[in-house]
Amino acid sequence: MKNVLRICILFFVGLSFNFTVHAQTKVEWPERRAFHSVMSTTFHPAEDGNLEPIKKRSGEMVQKAKEWKESTPPKEFDKPIIKKKLKLLYKESKALDKMIQKKASDAKIKAALTKLHDRFHEIAEACNHSQEGH
């Protein structure tokens, strides 16, 4: 019975150590977080048909995309595929801003914002795979 108890204790200690190590090794990229802040506060209202946030903040979205693209990535994210996708994100952010400035239809703006949102998630996924060592 003592051996079973010892095995259980060792298992839980090892498990908690594993969680602690993973929590401590999560890599932060402040420019990613800044871009996501603008994306989340503009995309989610657009899903419900409210395009005012993106119409007001499209210039800021471009600026955050540029800052992210030009930032020095953490070494785990310094990969050609991530850099390539960041260039596309910036280009697509500028295109969306231009559409808004030219008073494009709401349907076109929403489609472009959705594409930009998908691009953001491609980058996030590439970063996740980089951290996992894929």
Q: Are 93 and 54 in contact (CB under 8 A)?
A: no
**What is the sign of the dihedral through the CA atoms of 73, 74, 75 and 78?**
negative
Biggest distance spanned by C-alpha atoms of the chain: 75
- Give exposure, 63-79, as e/b (b: 16+ Cβ within 10 Å): bbbbebbeeebeeebee
The answer to the question of residue 128 being in a domain is yes
Q: How many domains does the chain have?
A: 1
Residue span of the structural domain in which 125 resides: 29-132
How many Å apart are CA 25 and CA 102, to the nearest integer? 44
Ordered alpha helix ranges (H), 25-79: 30-47, 52-70
pTM: 0.78
pLDDT at 66: 98
The answer to the question of residue 57 being in a domain is yes
The answer to the question of residue 1 being in a domain is no
The answer to the question of residue 11 being in a domain is no
The answer to the question of residue 16 being in a domain is no
The answer to the question of residue 52 being in a domain is yes
The answer to the question of residue 10 being in a domain is no
- Residue 82's Cα: distance from chain center in Å? 11
pLDDT at 41: 97
The answer to the question of residue 2 being in a domain is no
pLDDT at 19: 45
Mind listing the pLDDT tens digit of every residue in the chain (134 residues)?
Answer: 665 555 545 455 455 444 444 444 578 899 999 999 999 999 999 999 999 999 999 999 999 999 999 999 999 999 999 999 999 999 999 999 999 999 999 999 999 999 999 999 999 999 887 665 54
pLDDT at 3: 59
